[in-house]
Amino acid sequence: MKNKLILASASPRRVQLLEQVGITPDDIIPADIDETPLKAELPRDLAQRLAIGKAQAIAAQHKDAFILAADTVVGCGRRILDKAEDETYARKCLEQLSGRRHHVYGGIALITPDGKTVKRLVDTVVQFKRLTENDIESYIKSNEWDGKAGGYAIQGLAESYIKFIRGSYSNVVGLSLYDTIQILSGAGFKKD
């Protein structure tokens, strides 16, 4: 019998990534939780807390399914670079990321039909080249930054700015496929 899988996410990128490895969620239910960082919360801790919180919010109404949730947080030192909602903030993010390494933390949480919670934190290190004013302006005009953690989407123009990456590329897109498959299969989820 096929297991029911609910993706607790509003991200079309996470749906595309799962489909890339042959997994189509039975349902997609975005979790409406407060994503405000706690006082002095580190980026890695925020990513994990939000993934677990999203999974728990949806699992409360769907006890018969596997609930998969994730959150991506860009950390530059101890600073959290939020989702860019306007050009000013996107430009500020790009200026901070220019010429330096940063971490993209992917929190993944799975709640099984028997109520067990499995969690994992994925850490990908990314380094941008030193961005020129022209690079930043071109990127702002592309609008690819809109709604993206850290003000960039790796799967577009920003990829041409990346000098170094260590870890999961798909984590930077929005969901580490390797880790997600390991978690799902380890918890007994079976694809068709």
Cα distance between residue 27 and residue 4, in whole Å? 8
Look-up of token digits 């999961």? 168
What are the Cα distances from residue 154, in Å, to 22, 35, 82, 83, 125?
22, 22, 15, 14, 12
Query: Is 82 assigned a catalytic role?
Result: no
Q: What are phi and psi of 77, to 5 degrees?
A: 70, -130
Catalytic residue among 45, 71, 135, 179: 71
Q: Is 162 helix (H, G, I), strand (E, B) or coil?
A: strand
Cα distance between residue 150 and residue 86, in whole Å? 12
- Kind of pairing between the strands at 117-128 and 66-76: unpaired
- Which residues does the annotation mark as catalytic? 71
